[in-house]
Amino acid sequence: MSPPVLEKTFQASDPVLQDTETFEVNLGPQHPSTHGVFRMNVKLEGETIVSLKPVMGYLHRNHEQIAENMSYLGSMPYTDRLDYFNSMSNNFGYALAVERLAKIDVPERAQYVRVIMAELTRLVNHVSVIGFLLNDLGAFFTPVLYAFREREKILDVFEEVAGSRMMCNYLRFGGVKRDLTPAVTERIKKIVRGFPKFLDEFEGLLTRNEILCIRCQKVGVLPYDLAVNAGITGPMARASGVNYDLRKVDRYSIYDRFKFKIPLGKIGDVYDRYLVRILEMRESLKILEQALKEIPAGPVMNPKFAALAKAPRNFKPPKGEAYGRVEAPKGELGFYLVSDGTAQPWRYHVRAPSLINLTVLEDLCLGHKVADAVIILGSIDIVLGELDH
Partner 1 sequence: MDPIFVNSKKALLNLFSAFLPDWTVVLVSIFISIGAIMVLGPFTMMYLTWFERKLLGRIQNRIGPNRVGIFGLLQPIADGVKMLTKEDIVPEGADKAVHLLAPIAIVIPSLLVFSVLPFGRNMTAVNLNIGVLFFLAVSATTTLSIFMGAWASRNKFSLLGGMRSVAQLVSYEVPMVLSVVPVILAAGSLSTVDLVESQGGWNGFKWFVFTPWGFTAFITFYLSGVAECNRTPFDIPEGESEIVAGFHTEYSGMKFALWYMAEFMNVFTVSGLTAVLFLGGWQGAPGLPSWAWFFIKTYALVFVMMWFRGTLPRLRVDQLMGLAWKFLLPLTLVNIFVAGLWFFIPDLRWRVGTAVALLGLTFWALMALNRTALPEKRTYEFAE
Partner 2 sequence: MLGVLRGMGITLKNFLASYVLPRRPDSLETGGIVTVQYPEERLPEKENFRNFPFLVFDGTVDNIRCVSCDICAKECPPKCIYIVRDTDSEGKPLKRPKVFDIDFTVCMNCGICEEACPFDAIFMDHEFEIGGPERQKSLVYHRDDLLKSTAHFQKIRPTDFAAIEERRKKDAEKKAAAQATVQAAAQPKPQTPPSPQP
Piece of the chain touching partner 2 by CB under 8 A; list 6-14, 33-41, 299-307, 352-360: 299-307
Dihedral sign for Cα atoms in the order 80, 84, 87, 90: negative
Q: Does 207 bind partner 2 (CB under 8 A)?
A: yes
Taken as a whole, the chain contains a residue count of 389
Q: CB of 226: closest distance to partner 2 in angstroms?
A: 30
311 lines the binding site for partner 1 (CB under 8 A): no
Site for partner 2 in 308-327 (CB under 8 A): 309-313
Sequence-separated (6 or more) residues with CB below 8 Å from residue 9: none
Residue closest to 129 by CA, chosen among 267, 26, 239: 239
Position among 52, 56, 115, 137 found at the interface with partner 1 (CB under 8 A): 137
> Phi and psi dihedrals of 78, rounded to 5?
-75, -30
Q: DSSP string spanning 273-326?
A: HHHHHHHHHHHHHHHHHHHHHHPPPS-SB-GGGGGGGG-GGG--PPSEEEEEEE
- DSSP string over 157-185: HHHHHHS-SS----EETTEESSPPPHHHH
Selection from 40, 44, 80, 78 nearest residue 56 by Cα: 40
Supply φ then ψ for residue 317, to 5 degrees: -65, 155
Least Cβ distance, residue 207 to partner 2 (angstroms): 8
Q: In terms of CB distance, is 20 or 314 closer to partner 2? A: 314
Tell whether residue 215 is a contact of partner 1 (CB under 8 A): yes
Q: How far is CA 388 from CA 37, 106, 310, 319, 338, in A?
A: 10, 31, 31, 29, 22
Half-sphere exposure of 218 (CA within 13 A, CB side): 2
- Which among 296, 238, 263 is positioned nearest to 115, based on CA atoms? 296
Q: Which stretch binds partner 2 (CB under 8 A): 114-122, 144-152, 269-277, 381-389?
A: 144-152
> What is the C-alpha radius of gyration for the chain, rounded to an integer number of angstroms?
23
Binding to partner 1 in span 344-373, by CB under 8 A: 369-372
What sign does the CA torsion over 336, 340, 341, 345 have?
A: negative
Give 80's strand partners.
none
Adjacency order of strands within the sheet including 331-339: 320-328, 331-339, 345-351
Q: Which among partner 2, partner 1, none contacts residue 75 (Cβ within 5 to 8 A by kind)?
A: partner 2
User: With binding defined as CB under 8 A, does residue 180 bind partner 1?
Assistant: no
Coil, strand or helix at 362: helix
Residue 326 touches which of partner 1, partner 2, none (CB < 5 to 8 A by kind)? none
Q: From partner 2, partner 1, none, which one binds at residue 267 (CB under 5 to 8 Å depending on kind)?
A: partner 1
Number of Cα atoms under 13 Å in the Cβ half of residue 79: 35
Rule CB under 8 A: choose which of 46, 138, 204, 318 binds partner 2.
204
The least distance separating partner 2 from the CB of residue 81, rounded to whole angstroms, comes to 8
Q: How far is the CB of 100 from partner 1 (least distance, A)?
A: 26
- Which residues have C-beta within 8 Å of that of residue 229, sequence separation ≥ 6? none
Per-residue contact string for residues 17-46; x = within reach of partner 1 by CB under 8 A: ------xxx-----xxx-------------
Distance of CA 247 to the CA centre of its chain: 15
The interface partner of residue 159, options being partner 2, partner 1, none and the CB cut-off 5 to 8 Å by kind, is partner 2
Question: Contact between 59 and partner 2 (CB under 8 A)?
Answer: no
214 contributes a contact to partner 2 by CB under 8 A: no
- Among positions 243, 314, 342, 359, the unique one binding partner 1 when judged by CB under 8 A: 243
Given 38, 78, 92, 94, the residue binding partner 2 (CB under 8 A): 78
Task: Between 80 and 269, name the residue whose CB sits nearer to partner 1.
Answer: 269
- Contacting positions for partner 1 (CB under 8 A): 1, 3-5, 8-9, 23-25, 31-33, 47, 134-142, 145-146, 149, 205, 209-215, 217, 241, 243, 248, 261-267, 271-272, 275-276, 279, 369-372, 374
- Contacting positions for partner 2 (CB under 8 A): 70-71, 73-78, 80-81, 142, 146, 149, 152-153, 156, 159-164, 167, 169, 172, 177-178, 190, 194, 201, 204-213, 301, 306-307, 309-313
